[in-house]
Amino acid sequence: MTLRAWYFLTLILTALLMGTSFAHTLEMPAKMKVDGTLWMTFQHTLYAYFAYVGAPIELGAIIVASVLSFLLRRQPGFYPALIGAASLAIAFLIVWLGFTNPVNAETAKWTAESIPTDWASWRNQWEYSHFTRFILHLTGFSALLVFSARLAIQEIKSSKTSHSRIFALWCNCVRQFSSSVHFFLSKNPSLNFVRGKFPFGLLTGVFLALFGLNGNCNA
């Protein structure tokens, strides 16, 4: 797999992962206003697919981002990729394992009759941990976009160089053609009428000026 394809995979997985934590963040204001029974119901019913689908995406994003930073270890995009991988890893290894998952394990044991009196503190830990994860995911995604911007700038610079070389080659071809025509006409006096009617040197100069090639002919 090429570096470009690996970067694309990293960006897609990170975007999907950030979508899950962004969804939690958008739900947070409403969930902070409900009572304990309804909040527990949300925890038991809303998030099954966040585990089934979200967990593989998160692990995949961390792995591919880490590999990307390794592949770029001697290139200018190394530090943005490293920041991206570190942000994703911190969001999972520290925030989710240390703060979010303990709440998941605790609330899985609750029933409508056994909700503890300190349920609000568990709710706050869960909601704010996901908000923290969103900030870290956004940081990681932004760092990867910085790397994308650097790639784009490099391609633009490379494209400009290639275009300059193409322009220079085209200029030389036009000039060589004009010189060849002049030489051919000079060796065939019978065709002087063509030379008089078609000033190839002037036409060549006008052509180059119209297409803005004069400044690139020596590239």
Q: Which of 28, 24, 37 lies closest to 107 in space, CA to CA?
A: 37
Per-residue pLDDT of the chain (219 residues; tens, 9 = 90+): 688 888 889 999 999 999 999 999 999 999 999 999 999 999 999 999 999 999 999 999 999 999 999 988 888 788 889 999 999 999 999 999 999 999 999 999 999 899 999 999 999 999 999 999 999 999 999 999 887 776 666 655 665 555 556 556 556 655 665 666 566 556 666 555 445 544 545 555 544 444 444 444 544
Q: What is the pLDDT of residue 206?
A: 47
Q: Which of 94, 70, 97 lies closest to 82 in space, CA to CA?
A: 70
Residue 169 Cα distances to 90, 209, 217, angstroms:
53, 15, 8
Query: Which pTM does this prediction carry?
Result: 0.70
